[in-house]
């Protein structure tokens, strides 16, 4: 003690820092973490995906708030309608139900943003390369009071019905509370367990790996504006040195007939985005000059150079990229 007194006599300016250090320790003492996740590596399309989150909460303060759990999922799963989340903890007894936070509900300390938007801004998209993903946030039906300086363990049970689609997706999870939101990393925790596989029907929708060609929106009809993108940076192709890239597309009609647009014109010229990436927005009904009775079922497309002699198809090969018009 004498030594401490002597120290502060020698360094009087350090006295003011003590309350600050104590305050910092108290604030930093509050934390929530996802310790581990039980999640299968894959399920079959249409099956229920069961996930368990093991969460630890350390408190430093008396607080009453709702528990928040959010999942990053493919939009096509419609988790807001098909997901069920409950939890157990050493603070509660029995399964505690949770409910989807209504659209438009502002997140606490979120500058007016709703939970899905705030989660996307703050936590991100988990590295999913197609933008057909969404954060779906749930609040516990009740608010819970915690006391200071205590550790609580929470086990979250998530059951989500998958769609029949054949896809790979990087699922994400986030836990927080209705009082602090995502205002500071100590108040929330997120976890991305990696690429998850659904063995479903149809062409593989791969959110995990870069694709040579992508069509956005992933689901559309021929009266939508669709964006066809070519990313030559994903793998070497015959168009690596092309100064111009064009779309060459065949449309299959409901009647069984097909139409082809494969001339190198302004209608098919792709916009360069740099780094060998190209993009073209098309309105299929306009591109194929369809009349009222004609409707497209699917497209088969290539990318060509300005002469049309170099053609790049699926996987960089000779087969065309497929795209089927459908809605979710």
Partner 1 sequence: MKKIFHLQCLLLMTLLFACKPERLAVPSEPIKDIKGSWQVIKATRNGTDLTARFDFSKFRIHFSDSTYTIDSLLPFIVSKNGKWAFDDPQYPFYLSFTIPDSTAHSPLLYPVTGGRRNIIITFSPGCTANSYQYTLQKVN
- Catalog residues that contact partner 1 under the rule CB under 8 A: 75, 217, 219-225, 227, 271, 279, 281, 283, 285-286, 292, 327-328
Longest dimension (CA), the chain: 96
* Sheet bearing 195-199, strands edge to edge: 42-44, 195-199, 165-170, 201-206
Pick 47 or 224: Cβ nearer partner 1: 224
Q: How far is the CB of 237 from partner 1 (least distance, A)?
A: 24
- Closest to partner 1 by CB, 225 vs 235, is 225
Residues ≥6 apart with Cβ < 8 Å to 24: none
Least distance between partner 1 and beta carbon 216 (Å): 8
Residue nearer to partner 1 on the CB measure, 122 or 285:
285
What SS3 class is residue 210?
A: coil
Q: Which is nearer to partner 1, 58 or 227 (CB)?
A: 227
8 Å CB contact between 149 and 60: yes
If the CB atoms of residues 66 and 280 are measured against partner 1, the closer one turns out to be: 280
Residue 54 CB, nearest approach to partner 1 (Å): 35
Question: Which CB sits closer to partner 1, 203 or 271?
Answer: 271
CA distances in angstroms from 116 to 32, 50, 271, listed in the order given: 20, 22, 31
Alpha carbon dihedral 307, 309, 314, 317, in 10-degree steps, equals -140
Which string of b and e fits 182-209 if b means at least 16 CB within 10 Å?
Answer: beeebbbbbbbbebbbbebeeeebbbbe
Q: How far apart are CA 232 and CA 44, in angstroms?
A: 32
């Amino acid at each position: 003690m004498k030594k401490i007194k002597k120290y502060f006599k020698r360094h009087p300016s350090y006295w003011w820092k003590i309350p600050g250090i104590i305050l910092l320790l108290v604030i930093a003492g509050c934390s929530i973490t996802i310790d581990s996740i039980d999640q299968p590596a894959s399920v079959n399309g249409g099956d229920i995906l069961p996930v368990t989150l093991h969460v630890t909460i350390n408190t430093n303060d008396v607080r009453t708030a709702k528990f928040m759990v959010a999942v990053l999922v493919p939009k096509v799963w419609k988790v807001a309608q098909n997901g069920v989340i409950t939890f157990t903890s050493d603070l509660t007894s029995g399964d505690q139900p949770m409910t989807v936070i209504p659209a438009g509900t502002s997140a606490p300390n979120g500058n007016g943003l709703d939970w899905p938007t705030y989660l996307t801004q703050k936590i991100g998209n988990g590295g999913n390369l197609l933008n057909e993903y969404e954060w779906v946030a749930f609040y516990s039906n009740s608010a819970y009071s915690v006391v200071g300086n205590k550790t609580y363990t929470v086990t979250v049970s998530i059951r989500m019905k998958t769609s029949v689609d054949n896809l790979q997706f990087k699922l994400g999870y986030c836990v927080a509370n209705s009082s602090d939101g995502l205002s500071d990393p100590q108040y929330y925790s997120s976890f991305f367990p990696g690429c998850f596989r659904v063995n479903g029907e149809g062409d593989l929708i791969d959110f995990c790996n870069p694709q040579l060609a992508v069509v956005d929106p992933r689901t559309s009809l021929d009266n939508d504006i669709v964006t066809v993108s070519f990313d030559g940076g994903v793998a070497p192709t015959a168009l690596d040195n092309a100064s111009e890239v064009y779309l060459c597309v065949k449309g299959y009609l409901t009647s069984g007939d097909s139409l082809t647009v494969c001339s190198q014109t302004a209608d098919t010229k792709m916009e360069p985005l740099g780094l060998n990436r190209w993009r073209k927005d098309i309105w299929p009904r306009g591109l194929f000059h369809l009349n009222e009775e004609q409707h497209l079922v699917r497209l088969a497309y290539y990318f060509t150079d300005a002469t049309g002699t170099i053609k790049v198809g699926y996987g960089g090969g000779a087969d065309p990229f497929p795209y089927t018009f459908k809605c979710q």
